[in-house]
Amino acid sequence: MTSRMNTAADAGTWQLGDLTVNRIGFGAMRLTGDVPFQPGASSDRDRAIRVLRRAVELGVDHIDTAAFYFSSKRSANELINTALAPYPEDLVITTKVWPGRDSSGAWWWATPEQLRGQVEDNLRQLGRDHLDVVNLRVPPSYRTASIAEHFGALAELREAGLVRHLGVSNVTPDHLAEARAIAPVVCVQNPYGVGAPAAEREFLRTCGELGVAYVPFFAIAGAGRESGAGAAESEAVLAVARAHGASAAQVRLAWTLRQGPHVLAIPGTGDPDHLTENIAAGALQLSDEDMARLGTDQDQ
């Protein structure tokens, strides 16, 4: 890896509707502390605020968050508001609705009529008069079910001016087609990383053909998923990392970005050093041989 200070601009840009963002962004989930599925999350409020401010200094202009990213200690949205308001004009904040959590942390799923309340929660916590991008996060139980009623409710909020652009998350190609028939969709946010199944790789390519941003989550964690990146890393990833003097996480991020110019990355961390490493991954150039070793196709 190069010794100069890398910035998020090194990875290039893509469009979320009429909003231009650097392809390396930041995911806020791991800032909040003791959420059960975040054992590696930050529990230091001041450090979390420093990480957010440093991310923007390093060129991050796309932050992914949600009102349900909170713990007994703090809220991701409140941290973002405290750290970054008044917001830079080019900062795009993406959030998501449909899942919710009550004050005890228990999960619930909104009805279409309740989505406005979830959007307003995000607006209030972030101190915004509109949301840049709202993803409809689809529950696992809806894998083959219609999302039209929920997405239609969000489309109405877009028409009302509360939301600028819409996306979908944890979806199938059928969901995307259904949503696009109702209103424009600027992004798909799905789990994706090294070893992703062929069907999801094809979905990623379809998004590119449609001009829809594809935004993977769990790109670094891989098989670790909600628990974060695990200690047992694949030999292929480690071998490529050694060859480039990079970390396994950097290789996974660079691989993600190599999947297509429409692919964005939103790695999250509460650690300032990991933040710098993640952003530096945007300058890591993997060869065709590296990509072959990692075992999947890449867009040229």
Name the amino acid, one letter, at 162. L
- CA gap 294, 174 in Å, rounded: 29
Q: What is the CA radius of gyration of the chain?
A: 18
Q: How long, in residues, is the chain?
A: 300
**185 φ/ψ sector (left φ>0, alpha ψ -120 to 50, else beta):** beta
- CA gap 215, 256 in Å, rounded: 9
Angle (CA) 253-256-258 rounded to 5° is 115
Q: Which residues pair with 96 in a beta bridge?
A: 135
Query: Active site residue: 69, 87, 192, 214, which one?
Result: 69
Nearest to 80 by CA among 278, 88, 279: 88
Q: Is 69 noted as a catalytic residue in this protein?
A: yes
Identify the residue whose tokens are 């961390």: 269
- CA gap 150, 112 in Å, rounded: 5
- Residue 223 backbone phi and psi in degrees, to 5: -65, -20
Tell me: cis bond preceding 272? Omega within 30 of 0 counts.
Answer: no
Q: Which residues are catalytic?
A: 69
